[in-house]
Amino acid sequence: MLETTETVRSEYEPVQGRIAWIEQFTDQDKLYVISLPDDVELDHDPGQFVELFVPGVGEAPFSISSSPTKDGPLELCIRAVGNVTRALDSMEGGDPLGIRGPYGTGFDPEALAGDDLLFVAGGIGLAPLRSMINYALDRSGEFGDLTTLYGCKEPAEQLFPEELQRWDDSEEMAFYETVDQCPEDQTWEGREGVITELIPEAEFDPETTTALVCGPPVMYRFVIESLQEQGLADDHIYLSLERNMHCGRGLCGHCQINELYVCVDGPVFNYPEVRDKSEAEV
């Protein structure tokens, strides 16, 4: 939970932060950089989320995009699709926000230590995976080979473009990128095709590799099948499932998958945990 230097706050009491700055990536997607009070530490794991409160509107859960290896403001990549996010879309630097959390079960860097890591991110799914990707890059000596696959529908939907270029230029991580297609009114010199087409091309050893996957629900089944075809065992696959989360504490039931609650038991699951859950749709 968010803590001050003197006391642990109630989990239902938001900390007041302020928007430090905003970076727009697409027509719907923005990066919100949020400063917290000097005496507050987020202390999150990669893959966790926070509840973001917009005064006068309400609150909603959002994945943390920043790595715990970085001090400073909190970073959230948010798509404007609902009441809270549309209200956010009209806000500016200096505006106040409330923050609760962090919540949920994220990726466990200690459990992944020594593994080769294969990140598979589709669309907005890059937002939560970015936290673990940058964690692994900042502490590359703790892991084996690093590989990231990223796909989006078209070039205009690309997130973190400058960072993607740094990853592409990096000697510490192999980076593969594709778009489903490039409309005639856009420019793209990279690959066209779905993200699963990248998996056979990525050079990884299934015996030593763990895959971390996040993207739209329709993507999971095909990505999992492709990883299995490359010899990756089911228990070497982790999924970040963030559908329908609301309260963040397993009280409202919006995110329930059979007997599991995504906001508490996840959002990160080892694939065998949800493999046979009909409501998981993976």
Closest by CA position to 220, among listed 282, 272, 269, 275: 282
Q: Which two tokens stand for residue 76?
A: 């959230």
- In whole angstroms, give the CA distance from residue 97 to residue 65: 17
Q: Is 263 annotated as a binding residue?
A: yes
The H or E element containing residue 174 is: strand 174-179
Closest by CA position to 72, among listed 107, 20, 108: 20
Q: Is 247 annotated as a binding residue?
A: yes
Closest by CA position to 214, among listed 240, 232, 242: 240
- In whole angstroms, give the CA distance from residue 23 to residue 71: 19
User: Residue 143 — left, alpha, or beta (φ > 0 → left; ψ -120 to 50 → alpha)?
Assistant: beta
Contact by Cβ (8 Å): 40, 2: yes
Contact by Cβ (8 Å): 48, 263: no
In Å, what is the CA distance from 200 to each residue of 149, 150, 203? 11, 14, 8
Buried b or exposed e, range 209-222, using 16+ CB within 10 angstroms: bbbbbbbeeebbee
Strand partners, 210: 117
In Å, what is the CA distance from 52 to each residue of 85, 172, 193? 10, 34, 35
- In whole angstroms, give the CA distance from residue 124 to residue 121: 8
| Residue type, position 9, single letter | R
Point out the annotated binding site for [2Fe-2S] cluster. Answer: 247, 252, 255, 263
Q: Which residues are annotated as a binding site?
A: 247, 252, 255, 263
